[in-house]
Amino acid sequence: MNYQAKVAGMSCNGCANSVKAALSQIDGVSDVKIDLDEKQATLESSQELTKAQLEEALADTSYTVESLN
């Protein structure tokens, strides 16, 4: 399953790398791609994901999930 999440707070490649690392730790996530210009993460997962799971993964960062599609 593919998901697209709007992530607030990303402004540089370091930010993108931090978000990618955090989201990659979610069970079932096999790939994370970050589009810094769109402030969007595209996730590929073998399991259904919820916005709450992404928010939990980013809880120790300064980034927030605005939406998940």
Domain that holds residue 52: 2-68
Question: What's the CATH code of the domain at 23?
Answer: 3.30.70.100
The residues, any chain, with a CB within 8 Å of residue 28's CB and separated by 6 or more, are 45, 46, 47, 49
pLDDT tens string 4-52: 999 999 999 999 999 999 999 999 999 999 999 999 999 999 999 999 9
Which pLDDT value is given to residue 37? 96
**Residue 35 near residue 49 (C-beta atoms within 8 A):** no
Predicted confidence band at 56 (pLDDT cuts at 50, 70, 90)? very high
Which pLDDT value is given to residue 23? 98
What are residue 45's DSSP bridge partners? 29
**Residue 35 near residue 51 (C-beta atoms within 8 A):** no
**Residue 3 near residue 23 (C-beta atoms within 8 A):** no
Number of folded domains that form the chain: 1
